[in-house]
Amino acid sequence: QVQLQESGPGLVKPSETLSLTCTVSGGSISSNHWSWFRQPPGKGLEWIAYIYYSGSTNYNPSLQSRVTLSIDTSKSQVSLRLSSVTAADTAVYYCARGDYGSGQIWGQGTLVTVSS
Amino acid sequence: DIQMTQSPSTLSASVGDRVTITCRASQSISYWLAWYQQKPGKAPNLLIYKASSLESGVPSRFSGSGSGTEFTLTISSLQPDDFATYYCQQYHSYSRSFGQGTKVEIK
C-alpha cells in the first residue's frame, strides 16, 4: 500500500529556510494531490499547501509569501520549503495524499524545531 | 477565509454511548468536509470524506451528515479505541481549514 515518509532537518535557525521532503512508496505519485500540514505542539492542525502531480499548486494565504512546493515525479518526492522561519513555525510537519487538500493517507510526521 | 467551529471542545462519554460532534462553517462549503481522528503522537486518520462518505476500513459505527454550513460526526456506540481528538476540515474554499478539535474523553 501507499506509504509516505517525511525527512529533513529537525532543527532550523530563526530566519533560515525549512526544507522537507516527502517520499512516496508503494504507489504512483501521479494523478493525485499531495499536501503538507503542520501541528504545533499541543495545538490543532493547519493546512499549508497542496500540489497536483502536474505541478499546479494551492497555498494557504497566510503562508503563501513564504512557502514553495515542488514535485519530482521521477523520484516520487514532494518537497516543502518555508522561508524566514520563526519560533511560531515549530511544529510536527505532515505530508499527505488526498483530493484537493484533504488527507486520505498521511506520513508519520516529522518534528521541526526553530531555535538558535 | 472560511472559519470552522467545532462543538463541544471536550466531550466526556462512556463506552457504548452515542456521541455527536458538530462542525459549523462560516459560509457554505457544500459537502466538501472531512472528519479525522487523531491519537496522541500519531498522524490524523481519515474517517469521513465529502461529508458523509465512510473511508474504506473505518468501522460503520462512524457516520457523517450535513451540507452547506452545518455538519455532524456521529459515533453510534463509543468503543475504547475511539477515545481521541476529532477534527473537521473543509476543502471547498481556496484555503483549506480545520476546526479546533474535539477531545473525546472517558467519563
Q: Kindly report the three-state secondary structure assignment for every residue of B33-68.
A: EEEEEECCCCCCEEEEECCCEECCCCCCCEEEEEEC
pLDDT at A100: 86
Residue A50 has a pLDDT of: 95
Chain A nearest C-alpha distance from B49 (Å): 8
Look at the block and give the residue holding cell 462519554: B13
**Among partner residues A60, A99, A109, which is closest to B43 by beta-carbon distance?**
A109
Q: Is B20 exposed, middle or buried (0-12, 13-18, 19+ CB in 10 A)?
A: middle
The answer, for B97 touching chain A at a CB cutoff of 8 Å, is yes
Q: How far apart are CA B28 and CA B85, in angstroms?
A: 24
pLDDT averaged over chain B? 96
DSSP state of A108: -
pLDDT (tens digit per residue) in B29-55: 999 999 999 999 999 999 999 999 999
Judged by CB atoms closer than 8 Å, whether chains meet at A99 and B98 is answered as no
Is residue A65 predicted with pLDDT exceeding 90?
A: yes
Taking CB atoms and an 8 Å cutoff, what residues of chain B touch A102? 34, 46, 49, 89, 91, 96
Dihedral angle over CA of B99, B100, B103, B104, nearest 10: -20
